[in-house]
């Protein structure tokens, strides 16, 4: 009796575990060469494996362009901070990357789809963060994956980490596994938690993740615009910055968000927008926590607070 397509899929996943991209490619090509002619689910599985083979060949071409001193895990930092997305296989890290950056990276139900880091920029007005979607951590030990050294390098080099948890699975197991492996790497640095599939399981699981998080900021996917703003505020807080909104007093266009150091003044903000504006600035109007009343006129040495809206006046 032939093996069922489900058992065949489990067998392939078991054989692929811990293999390098080249080894996995050879394994899948061997399976496809002798693929049964049965229709229905067997052919759907064949299509899935063919997509995986195409991805592995693409990864091979990427790796071939890197020298030993320029590996894909050595990432040039851009923006205000480099934030590494970490998680177990198939928890939705690439979906988080896409939601924040529009990177349009491959998302699939095949374990270990991400074999090299995907990188995108999370932009909000005048500020940017670099988001790095790392290959998954294994459910067992780090020795299960060939890229363990690359994971360690990327985690240690990141400004901080963002742990992604699949809320449809065991959140406690995922967190315990990741925290243990990160501690083993010496990369137990500041973290933010993002739970995926909130729309599937509801808010109760997200609340449970908050309890497990031990005080770490927690967000849920999908992210609405106001939640992206709140996430950016958390990112800024970790690196000692606040977000203020600058509005053109003439055009009255929508305000633009800027990240300034804690304790920054109106003049500091003007200089960040443009050095010519800092030279011409005379005073400002401020709405928000640092103002005694909305629209208060202040001097250039006025200290700004998070969430302030500022109009810088040149006359």
In the 8-state DSSP scheme, what is residue 256?
E
Percentage of residues in the chain having pLDDT higher than 90: 54
Q: What integer pLDDT is reported at residue 1 of this predicted model?
A: 45
Residue ranges of domains in the chain: 5-64, 82-238, 241-313
For residue range 150-198, what is the model confidence (pLDDT) as tens digits? 899 999 999 999 999 999 999 999 999 999 999 999 998 878 999 999 9
Name the residue with higher pLDDT: 96 or 78.
96
What's the pTM value of the predicted model, to 2 decimals?
0.76
Backbone φ/ψ region at 51: left (φ over 0), alpha (ψ -120 to 50), beta? alpha
> What is the CATH class of 82-238?
alpha beta
Listed in sequence order, the residues at least 6 apart from 255 whose beta carbon sits closer than 8 Å to its beta carbon are 125, 245, 246, 247, 309
For residue range 39-75, what is the model confidence (pLDDT) as tens digits? 788 888 888 888 888 777 766 655 554 444 456 777 7
> What is the CATH class of 241-313?
alpha beta
- From residue 279, alpha-carbon distances to 26, 246, 255 in Å are 63, 16, 21
């Amino acid at each position: 009796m032939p093996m069922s397509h489900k058992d065949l899929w489990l067998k392939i996943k078991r054989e692929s575990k811990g293999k390098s991209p080249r080894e996995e490619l050879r394994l899948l090509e061997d399976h496809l060469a002798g693929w049964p002619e049965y229709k229905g689910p067997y052919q759907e599985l064949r299509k899935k494996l063919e997509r995986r083979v195409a991805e592995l060949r693409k990864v091979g071409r990427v790796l071939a362009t890197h020298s030993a001193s320029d590996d894909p895990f050595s990432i040039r930092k851009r923006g205000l901070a480099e934030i590494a997305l970490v998680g177990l296989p198939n928890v939705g890290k690439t979906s988080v990357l896409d939601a924040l950056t529009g990177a349009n990276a491959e998302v699939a139900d095949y374990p270990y789809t991400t074999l090299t880091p995907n990188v995108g920029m999370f932009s909000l007005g005048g500020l940017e963060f670099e988001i790095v979607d790392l290959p998954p951590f294994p459910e067992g030990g780090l020795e299960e994956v060939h890229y363990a050294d690359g994971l360690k390098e990327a985690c240690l080099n990141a400004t901080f980490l963002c742990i992604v948890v699949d809320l449809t699975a065991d959140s406690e197991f995922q967190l315990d596994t990741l925290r243990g492996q990160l501690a083993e790497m010496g990369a137990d640095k500041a973290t933010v938690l993002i739970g995926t599939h909130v729309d599937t399981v509801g808010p109760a699981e997200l609340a449970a993740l908050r309890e497990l998080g031990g005080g770490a900021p927690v967000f849920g996917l999908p992210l609405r615009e106001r939640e992206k703003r709140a996430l950016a505020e958390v990112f800024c807080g970790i690196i000692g910055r606040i977000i203020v909104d600058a509005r053109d007093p003439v055009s009255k266009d929508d305000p633009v968000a800027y990240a300034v150091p804690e304790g920054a003044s109106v003049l500091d903000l003007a200089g960040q927008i443009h050095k010519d504006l800092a030279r011409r600035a005379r005073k400002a109007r401020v709405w928000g926590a640092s103002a005694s009343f909305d629209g208060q006129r202040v001097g250039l040495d006025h200290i700004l607070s998070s969430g302030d809206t500022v109009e810088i006046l040149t006359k």
